[in-house]
Amino acid sequence: MPIPMVSYQGERFSFRGLSANWRIWSNESFELSALGKFRFDGFEVDDLGKHELARNGIDYRLIEDRDKSFDLGLAMKWNGRAGGIEAELLADATDTSGGQEINLQYGYPIQIGNGMLTPNIGLTWMSRDMADYYYGTLDKEVARGVVDYKPGSVTIPHVGAGYFQPIGEKWTLMGFLKYSRLPDGIQDSPFIEPDTDSSVSMMIGLSRGF
């Protein structure tokens, strides 16, 4: 799924890739912003493995796609000598899942040459409605004979790192790595391969300023 990584930074409004911010208030160490963010947690049934679903007791013909959504909420950032803390409070504005999410992350920037490495650790909490929609089975699917599974609210811990390095005046090398430990509620989902207890995501790219 190609996603344009275009970013813009204005006096108050900014956007980067899938999210947009409107700064409400800030000082030297704290920033409060309104946040809008696309959510790509959904899936299309045709993209799932039919045989793998069958081994988990799911007939692919009886389940439905899970739609993407758009979240609205607040973002807060604290920065100091001991590092930075970021928090996001989000709610599904499109009523796709009708759920909420809270993200907390702590990072400590380390200067390496002219680049910046920021190891981080954090937690993501998903409400029952959101986790049930993306990792459980819907009531109308259960009525068709699909196994009834509802994980309830879940908390997902993660560790990772981000790296930025300017290249000349306009180019920047960037990279992100994230390892998430999946809770039992997600591990036991019929949409997850058996014995899957974690996920890893990585992004490496170049950006050019104008």
* Per-residue pLDDT reduced to its tens digit, 80-121: 999 999 999 999 999 999 999 999 999 999 999 999 999 999
Token pair recorded at residue 207: 């950006």
Does position 2 have pLDDT exceeding 70, yes or no?
no
H or E element in which residue 5 lies = none
Which tens digit of pLDDT belongs to each residue from 21-77? 999 999 999 999 999 999 988 999 998 889 999 999 899 999 999 999 999 999 999
What is the value of pTM for the model shown? Answer: 0.90
Give the model's confidence band at 169: pLDDT under 50 very low, under 70 low, under 90 confident, else very high. confident
Q: Is a pLDDT exceeding 70 seen at residue 200?
A: yes
- Per-residue b/e over 118-152, b at no fewer than 16 CB within 10 Å? bbbebebebbbbbbbbbbbbbeebeeeebeebbbe
> Residue 208's pLDDT is what?
86
Would you say residue 1 has pLDDT above 80?
no
**CA distance linking residue 15 with residue 37, whole number of Å:** 10
What mean pLDDT is predicted for residues 2-15?
83
Measured at the alpha carbon of residue 186, what is the angle toward residues 184 and 191, in degrees to the nearest 5? 135
